[in-house]
A and B are shown apart, each in its own frame.
Chain A
Amino acid sequence: DADVTQTPRNRITKTGKRIMLECSQTKGHDRMYWYRQDPGLGLRLIYYSFDVKDINKGEISDGYSVSRQAQAKFSLSLESAIPNQTALYFCATSDSALAGIYEQFFGPGTRLTVL
């Protein structure tokens, strides 16, 4: 079973709709992240959370919100989707208990298309 899962894997929606992308992990990690990836722009951080009560904005948080419902779950919402939010979205986790590297582990991604 995958350690970091994302649902849905693919989603097509219309402008103005509310969309929620979900991320779950069984790794027991405390830190979770949401990124979007666009061709030529690499991965850009949207929001991150270092524990259940902690939510922080990344470099491109406008138009997005998040919820950390439990240590294992981190959801990303688009309140009113717009076409330039069409992208590949990745969730990632890392573990602060492991001293040193804090490597991030990525989910399989959600491909979102906003028409």
Chain B
Amino acid sequence: GQNIDQPTEMTATEGAIVQINCTYQTSGFNGLFWYQQHAGEAPTFLSYNVLDGLEEKGRFSSFLSRSKGYSYLLLKELQMKDSASYLCAVRDQDNQGGKLIFGQGTELSVKP
């Protein structure tokens, strides 16, 4: 079966660092995505990992370990606008590389 797990909710303080974890068990693996979604809005792409290791993009970094079926999204220097839902998604081993399987999302609240 296909299963992607993330914590439902997290709270952090403005200026701090927060790590959002994602574990997955899928029939195949061809990359992992993180999306950000503000309430009532469309998801927007944050990061992509297909090889093990850390990908850094400004205040956001994403890590992947394929052997452990594990990823995390690291947000540094948190700002109030980072309050949003963060979605982990795995692209399964599909011939045409297009389908994503999403976790339920982690609702992050940033407090002053």
Please tell me if B104 contacts chain A, counting CB pairs below 8 Å: yes
B contact patch SS = loop
Contacting pair B42 A108 (CB below 8 A): yes
Interface of A toward B, CB cutoff 8 Å: 31, 33, 35, 40-45, 48, 50, 58, 90, 94, 96, 101-109
Contacts of B44 in A (CB 8 A): 106
Stretch from B10-18, B56-64, B67-75, B90-98 forming part of the interface with A: B90-98
Contacts of B31 in A (CB 8 A): 101
Expressed in whole angstroms, the minimum distance between the Cβ of A81 and any Cβ of chain B is 22
Contacting pair B91 A102 (CB below 8 A): yes
30 pairs, CB–CB < 8 Å, chain A vs chain B: A31-B98, A35-B102, A40-B8, A40-B104, A42-B104, A43-B43, A45-B100, A48-B98, A48-B99, A50-B96, A90-B43, A96-B97, A96-B98, A101-B48, A102-B97, A102-B98, A103-B33, A103-B45, A103-B48, A104-B45, A104-B100, A105-B45, A106-B42, A106-B44, A107-B42, A108-B41, A108-B42, A109-B40, A109-B41, A109-B42
Contacting pair B96 A96 (CB below 8 A): yes
A102 CA / B50 CA spacing, docked (Å): 12
Contacting pair A106 B98 (CB below 8 A): no
Please tell me if B87 contacts chain A, counting CB pairs below 8 Å: yes
A45 CA / B91 CA spacing, docked (Å): 12
Contacts of B102 in A (CB 8 A): 35, 42-44
